[in-house]
Amino acid sequence: MKSDKYEPRVCEICGRMYTPGRIDQRTCASPECVRERKRAYGIKKKNEGVYKARKRAYMQRKREPEVHKPKPDTIVAIGYAERQMAETLKMAGKVKTKL
């Protein structure tokens, strides 16, 4: 899809003039140029180390799945109701009973 909005440009891969369909288009959209641009982009990403770091982290997660650790039991049954009542009364404060 070509657009009349943008001026003709030079293809980064083959050097031919083309009219871009989008503002960020960089190649003439021929299959060879698109393939070459994708290949160069993939090589660039692999060389940056981002690809390897992600792959390494993924494989480590896959090899060593996270072991489920149950939460420690914080509720002690003996005297639980009394502790809850005392805590609630502490939050509410004293109530004036005299008029």
Distance separating alpha carbons of residues 88 and 66, to the nearest angstrom: 38
User: 27 and 37 in contact (C-beta within 8 Å)?
Assistant: yes
Phi and psi at 78, nearest 5°, equal -70, 120
Model pTM greater than 0.85? no
Question: Is residue 22 within 8 Å of residue 9, measured between CB atoms?
Answer: no
At 51 the pLDDT is 80
> Tens digits of per-residue pLDDT, 31-61?
999 999 999 888 877 777 778 888 899 999 8
**Residue 9: predicted pLDDT:** 93
- Residue 2's pLDDT is 63
Say whether 24 sits in a helix, a strand or coil: coil
* Cα–Cα distance list, 33 to 4, 6, 19, 25 (Å): 22, 20, 15, 12
The full set of domain ranges for the chain reads 9-63
Q: How many Cβ atoms from other residues are within 10 Å of residue 28's Cβ?
A: 20
